Structure 1
Amino acid sequence: MPRTLQQLDYTNRFARLPGRFHSAQQPTPLPSPYLVAFNPDAAALLGLAPEAADDPVSQQVMTGNQVLPGHEPLSALYAGHQFGVYVPQLGDGRAILLGEARNERGEHWELQLKGAGETPYSRMGDGRAVLRSSIREYLCSEAMHGLGIPTTRALSIMGSDYPVYRETAETAAVVLRMSPSFIRFGSFEVFFYRNQHDAIRELADFVIDHYYPACRDAARPYQALLDQVIARTASLMADWQAVGFCHGVMNTDNMSVLGLTLDYGPFGFLDAFDPGHVCNHSDHSGRYAFDQQPNIALWNLHCFAQALIPLLDMDATIEALKRFQPLFEAAYGQRLRAKLGFAAQGDKDEELIVKLFGRLYQGQVDYTVFFRRLAGFIPGELNAPLRDLFIERETFDDWAADYAARLAQESRDPRERQAAMLRANPKYILRNHLAETAIRQAIERDYSEIERLRTLLAAPFDEQPGMDRYAALPPEWAQQISVSCSS
């Protein structure tokens, strides 16, 4: 069993694609690196021992200071629509793919350094990442996995006192993140706009052969690929909306063809429920507001489908895109019924949900706390823990009467319903103030809060003794936290 990074089995399938898909790029070393965080859960996916965190060679690899035999470092080319405007060339501006490791189960994981220096796609940037943003990505990718939402993973954070300049001078960091693939919608767009249709076909064949092999047996494999990406994206949007996750930068270059949550920047989870919440302070128009995410996903899918048009039938493509909305609504409805404790769909469930969201918005009620407490709802009782979340208690009472009547239609034992609701409504999420606390301590070289949060968020639905403060309502100072594209 492999113990360190140098003992993994590297295959590097993406590197076998021709040079027009990527550029060879060696990482730029960082001086005097030190370990900030190491994730044993992600390490287990590779077959790594936890002790790999302390292996000097592995630490150098995780920083980008050493390249191992079997690695073929490269940065990928892609384009994309950023805030609705097409940008003809983007690419991995601060990401370098080291290689692809195959574990003992035959699973493939690409290992990518984020923040390891300039690449041909840096666009006058320095190719570096700062400690602040690295901690946020590390924690959120693992928090999303704990919630059961498809995502890239994070193995480690390596830090250095090397200065990196954003709004102010900050210290550098490198995240080693993992994914079956980092191919995105924009990976196809770049070749569509360059009129290189053979490259589109080659990349589509690569994706089908390695990630959607069942599509190869379909009558129209490329149409089947589009169908799969639409279905996975619809499911992902239902996941995001159900837990109150805001991505912040849903550009087409940040959309995974595998339906994964990709590229954590100015993300956020809802505190007080606000359907129009904009978590990215760089998003001045509110394009990527919380309630717009499903619509933007569909817009992005149109861009992806357009890039595949040389391989597709136009009429079939239009029909495929029309299926997104019903797929999303079905998946989202299912998740909301689970949150509310409904085993089956009721005739007036949508009306009840709309009424609830209106009450939550009106009262600026915390989204996560409300749904977690809802599991303890008792028909006919005052339900003070829920009622007290509302400034105007009567607005809750009005809805609670309708909710109690709906629960009366359920055949499940109330204890079974409560247990199911606790499995659908997390107690712990990565609120911005929790990440900010970990960041502030890490700046002082105390990394214990990063590990505490990682462990906590790996089991967000569980009652964890002594950790209730992490499930409490956010403090007032949390409202002053600002995240932007530099985050």
Structure 2
Amino acid sequence: MNSEPQADAYRPDPRIEAIADWIGDPVRPADFPRHITRWRNDRWAAPVGLAPLDDAQWTAHFGRFEPLPGNLPQPLALRYHGHQFRHYNPDLGDGRGFLFAQLRDSGGRLLDLGTKGSGRTPWSRDGDGRLTLKGAVREILATEMLETLGVNTSKTFSVIETGEALHRGDEPSPTRSAVMVRLSHGHIRIGTFQRLYALGETDHMAALVAYCLENYPGALPPEDAPGRDEPAVILLHQVVERMADLAASWMVAGFVHGVLNTDNINISGESFDYGPWRWLPRWDAKFTAAYFDHSGLYAFGRQPEAVLWNCSQLAAALRVLTETAPLVAALDRFGPLYQAAMCRRFAWRLGVESQGRKVDTALIQAAESAMVASGRAPEQFFFDHRAGRAAGDDDFGTILKGYRPADDVEDALWREDAPPGVLIDEVERIWAAIDERDDWSELEAKVEAVRRLGEQLGAIS
């Protein structure tokens, strides 16, 4: 969503209380020595009715986690299992975060406020339950850029520096600490269903399916789909549709999530939980984001495959509620749905009108070949060719001549030399300014530029 959200009144709606006894554990937040608000997303506080909070109230709710009025009386650390790099792990769950509140936005959607770095829980294992300030800054950059590029993503809602010195093995230590709040379309993961399947909690599985269908509604399966009236089948169809679109959105954005484990896949089809993410410095299907992804399992070009594999694990869990054949039929829709989403999103990012899947698919293939040959970063490539501006300048520009511009791009932004991006060198430079001089101006300038790009790209039709 790129348009400015509408302001609305605060509307608490803690629906998860109905299933709280078996989906999570009540926990207490950490008691932090300091509370310095570093990021307050008033753009998204407005549609959930929280923009009127003053600084003291913001700190009370999102630093000390005093309950919001009419909401959850105590945070809830959610339980789940998951496949991590295809190895099943039953010892998971919210280890440094919790669900803090649920509320409605101006469009009536049920949203969660969840945390990262809020302290230890029963699922922390050997972790300290904390988050580095650098990790929070990185998540601000990831979510802002993904939102601009039309990806269904969680929003970084709040970041408060907490005054602790943290030690980490993968970055210089000690380093500064923070607690972060995300605004998300729920926190029900594929791993949530896997846990219920592994423990034989069939009644809870059926209740979770009902919860998801009620609170995260979607389209019904096609009329000829087998078992289309069964709740488990309906849910899988909806998840497959959402995940096919999400996978396409990452590819068109040139984004590499890095850790596509089943505990990191939200059934709402929303991208979240940003760790070792990267944007492509050049178009490369083998590019990986995580230094520990030695086999390239979650490389850029393998992301659609990984997402489909994760959907198949949801289907495997749902077999306790229905027959296998209708679930396989739902999974079989992923490929065509993914290709349709690629065509729609690719045309949108290029600023041209779609000419149908066959023609658009050829355009995508030509664009990928042109990016590989030129070595240009995707951001620059799309910028250069926006609405056919470079038509005739190269082979791809000649192909693009057959497309009609979708909108007017004669704005000052498109007359600049380069678009805003968040490649790793820029991320490190922004963090260095904060770490060394407590200078937040580069982050603020980057967010402003990224949001301006989003305004010019507009919403995906």
Same fold (TM over 0.5): yes
Partner of 1:20: 22
Report the Cα distance in structure 2 between the residues aligned to 1:206 and 1:262, rounded to whole angstroms: 20
TM-score after normalising by structure 1? 0.82
Q: Residue 327 in 1 paired to residue 319 in 2?
A: no
Residue in structure 2 matching 1:221, options 213, 231, 235: 231
Partner of 1:72: 74
Q: Residue 258 in 1 paired to residue 260 in 2?
A: no
Alpha-carbon shift at residue 287 of structure 1 (Å): 0.7
Partner of 2:208: 203
Q: Summarize deviations over 1:75-113 as a string: whole Å, max 9, x none.
A: 000110000111013111111211213356644321112
Report the Cα distance in structure 2 between the residues aligned to 1:346 and 1:308, rounded to whole angstroms: 32
Q: Secondary structure at the match of 1:283?
A: coil
Q: Secondary structure at the match of 1:148?
A: coil
Partner of 1:435: 427
Partner of 2:5: none
Q: How does 1:58-137 map to 2 (within 5 A)?
A: 58-64=58-64, 66-68=66-68, 70=71, 71-103=73-105, 106-137=108-139
TM-score after normalising by structure 2? 0.86
Partner of 1:231: 241
Residue in structure 1 matching 2:443, options 445, 450, 462: 450
Alpha-carbon shift at residue 261 of structure 1 (Å): 0.4
Residue in structure 2 matching 1:38, options 40, 43, 49: 40
Residue in structure 1 matching 2:354, options 332, 343, 355: 343
Q: 1:307 to 1:419 in 2, by over 3 A?
A: farther
Alpha-carbon shift at residue 65 of structure 1 (Å): 5.4
Report the Cα distance in structure 2 between the residues aligned to 1:379 and 1:453, rounded to whole angstroms: 29
Q: Residue 159 in 1 paired to residue 170 in 2?
A: no
Partner of 2:285: 275
Report the Cα distance in structure 1 between the residues aligned to 2:24 and 2:146, rounded to whole angstroms: 29
Alpha-carbon shift at residue 328 of structure 1 (Å): 0.4
Report the Cα distance in structure 2 between the residues aligned to 1:306 and 1:128, rounded to whole angstroms: 34
Q: Secondary structure at the match of 1:275?
A: coil
Q: Residue 179 in 1 paired to residue 171 in 2?
A: no
Q: Secondary structure at the match of 1:458?
A: helix
Alpha-carbon shift at residue 45 of structure 1 (Å): 2.0
CA contact (8 A) 1:37 1:447 kept: no
Report the Cα distance in structure 2 between the residues aligned to 1:153 and 1:263, rounded to whole angstroms: 11
Larger radius of gyration between Structure 1 and Structure 2:
1
Q: Secondary structure at the match of 2:46?
A: helix
Q: 1:378 to 1:22 in 2, by over 3 A?
A: closer
Q: Secondary structure at the match of 2:247?
A: helix
Which residue identity is paired with 1:25?
A: V
Alpha-carbon shift at residue 152 of structure 1 (Å): 1.1
Between 264-273 and 435-444, report the one with greater CA deviation. 435-444
Partner of 1:315: 325
Residue in structure 2 matching 1:190, options 179, 195, 200: 195
Q: Summarize deviations over 1:145-198 as a string: whole Å, max 9, x none.
A: 222211111211000221111122211101111113111111100111112211
Alpha-carbon shift at residue 339 of structure 1 (Å): 4.3
Partner of 1:476: none
Structural RMSD (CA)? 2.8
Partner of 1:143: 145
CA contact (8 A) 1:278 1:286 kept: yes
Report the Cα distance in structure 2 between the residues aligned to 1:462 and 1:327, rounded to whole angstroms: 27
CA contact (8 A) 1:96 1:116 kept: yes
Q: Summarize deviations over 1:118-170 as a string: whole Å, max 9, x none.
A: 00111111110000101111232232222221111121100022111112221
Q: Secondary structure at the match of 1:188?
A: helix
Q: How does 1:381-392 map to 2 (within 5 A)?
A: 383=393
Partner of 2:382: 371
Q: Secondary structure at the match of 1:227?
A: helix
Report the Cα distance in structure 1 between the residues aligned to 2:218 and 2:356, rounded to whole angstroms: 34
Q: Residue 49 in 1 paired to residue 59 in 2?
A: no
CA contact (8 A) 2:47 2:106 kept: no
Alpha-carbon shift at residue 354 of structure 1 (Å): 2.9
Q: Secondary structure at the match of 1:99?
A: strand
Q: Summarize deviations over 1:18-53 as a string: whole Å, max 9, x none.
A: 422100001011102111111111111222236x3x
Report the Cα distance in structure 1 between the residues aligned to 2:105 and 2:300, rounded to whole angstroms: 37
Alpha-carbon shift at residue 407 of structure 1 (Å): 4.4
CA contact (8 A) 1:266 1:280 kept: yes
Q: 1:39 to 1:415 in 2, by over 3 A?
A: closer
Report the Cα distance in structure 2 between the residues aligned to 1:154 and 1:301, rounded to whole angstroms: 26
Q: Summarize deviations over 1:303-354 as a string: whole Å, max 9, x none.
A: 0111111112211111111110111012112323444535303866545543
Between 453-462 and 133-142, report the one with greater CA deviation. 453-462
Q: Secondary structure at the match of 2:200?
A: coil
Q: Residue 248 in 1 paired to residue 258 in 2?
A: yes
Larger helix fraction of residues: 1
CA contact (8 A) 2:288 2:296 kept: yes
Report the Cα distance in structure 1 between the residues aligned to 2:448 and 2:401, rounded to whole angstroms: 38
Report the Cα distance in structure 2 between the residues aligned to 1:204 and 1:87, rounded to whole angstroms: 22
Report the Cα distance in structure 2 between the residues aligned to 1:339 and 1:262, rounded to whole angstroms: 22
Report the Cα distance in structure 1 between the residues aligned to 2:441 and 2:401, rounded to whole angstroms: 47
Report the Cα distance in structure 2 between the residues aligned to 1:113 and 1:347, rounded to whole angstroms: 43
- Number of positions where the alignment pairs a residue of Structure 1 with one of Structure 2: 432
CA contact (8 A) 2:81 2:90 kept: yes
Q: Secondary structure at the match of 2:444?
A: helix
Q: 1:132 to 1:314 in 2, by over 3 A?
A: same
Report the Cα distance in structure 2 between the residues aligned to 1:238 and 1:62, rounded to whole angstroms: 33
Report the Cα distance in structure 2 between the residues aligned to 1:333 and 1:164, rounded to whole angstroms: 44
Q: Secondary structure at the match of 2:206?
A: helix
CA contact (8 A) 1:215 1:221 kept: no
Q: How does 1:394-409 map to 2 (within 5 A)?
A: 397=394, 399-400=395-396, 403-404=397-398, 406-407=399-400, 409=402
Q: 1:219 to 1:373 in 2, by over 3 A?
A: same
CA contact (8 A) 2:385 2:391 kept: no
Identity of aligned residues (%): 31
CA contact (8 A) 1:37 1:450 kept: no
Q: 1:97 to 1:339 in 2, by over 3 A?
A: closer
